[in-house]
């Protein structure tokens, strides 16, 4: 567990500090770690599978209290408010994106907010990424809003020419998998998405590490440019 008062005391000085807010099982955090960041995750729920430094707590409060102590912040607030399944079920969920953006802006740090495609109306000028671009056998679109002076260029999106296996069925030859709900093929999904430590719950909601490794490399270049300018 991270001791919040000592955020910088034990970290590797060669790796900038990154906060992975609403971290779940660590898909996003692992991508930034592979890019070269020293990552701390924070989540209101205990995450024993999280593979990096972890603090259990309310993510928005943590950002407000400690966000300025990090060099970069990634936030993946819960997507239930925007998902199609929740809209069908009619369950109410709070809007976290607007207060999250306000908290991130107040830190003065560069940041990224990630969410599902259905959250597009709540996000400002988001860019999209797709798993197929990174060689995965699924699509999994995710949107990314940036701030604090940081922007990034996503890989060029490819046309979807491979059909998706029907939800809840094993992936067949010549098809892409649908890693949502109570999907089969957890072992295959772990390999495909590069998340061998995750269970089904983590996989169906995670940001594939390849996405944030791509963002993280550009974030490091941005931080280096800022350091030179200073």
Average pLDDT on 31-48 reads: 97
Please check whether residue 20 is in contact with residue 40, taking contact to mean a CB–CB distance below 8 angstroms. yes
How far apart are the C-alpha atoms of 113 and 161, rounded to whole Å?
Answer: 29
How confident is residue 9, by pLDDT bands cut at 50, 70 and 90?
low
On the question of pLDDT at 90 being above 60, the answer is no
Q: Is the pTM of this model over 0.85?
A: yes
In 17-126 the beta strands, taken as DSSP E runs, fall at 17-21, 38-43, 53-56, 72-75, 111-115
Tokens for 143, please give them: 């949107």
pLDDT of residue 88: 45
Average pLDDT on 110-135 reads: 96
3-state secondary structure at position 10: coil
pLDDT of residue 211: 98
Average pLDDT on 32-57 reads: 97
Compute the mean pLDDT over every residue in the chain, rounded to the nearest whole number: 90
Give the helix, strand, coil percentages of the chain, each rounded to 5: 35, 15, 50
Domains and CATH numbers, the chain: 4-229 (3.40.50)
């Amino acid at each position: 567990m991270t001791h919040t008062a000592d955020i910088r005391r034990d970290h590797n000085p060669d790796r900038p500090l990154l906060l992975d807010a609403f971290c779940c099982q660590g898909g996003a955090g692992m991508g930034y770690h592979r890019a070269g960041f020293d990552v701390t995750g924070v989540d209101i729920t205990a995450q024993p599978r999280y593979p990096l430094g972890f603090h259990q707590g309310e993510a928005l409060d943590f950002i407000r209290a400690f966000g300025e102590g990090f060099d970069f912040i990634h936030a993946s607030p819960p997507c239930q408010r925007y998902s199609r399944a929740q809209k069908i079920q009619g369950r109410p969920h709070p809007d976290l994106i607007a207060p999250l953006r306000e908290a991130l802006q107040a830190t003065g740090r560069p940041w990224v907010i990630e969410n599902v495609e259905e959250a597009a109306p709540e996000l400002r000028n988001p860019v999209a990424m797709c798993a197929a671009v990174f060689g995965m056998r699924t699509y999994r679109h995710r949107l990314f809003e940036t701030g604090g002076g940081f922007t990034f260029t996503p890989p060029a999106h490819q046309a979807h020419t491979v059909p998706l296996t029907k939800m809840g069925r094993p992936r067949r030859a010549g098809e892409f998998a649908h890693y949502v709900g109570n999907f089969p093929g957890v072992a295959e999904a772990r390999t495909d998405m590069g998340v061998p430590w995750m269970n089904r719950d983590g996989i169906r909601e995670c940001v594939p590490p390849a996405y944030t490794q791509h963002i993280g490399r550009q974030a490091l270049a941005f931080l280096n440019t800022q350091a030179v300018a200073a």
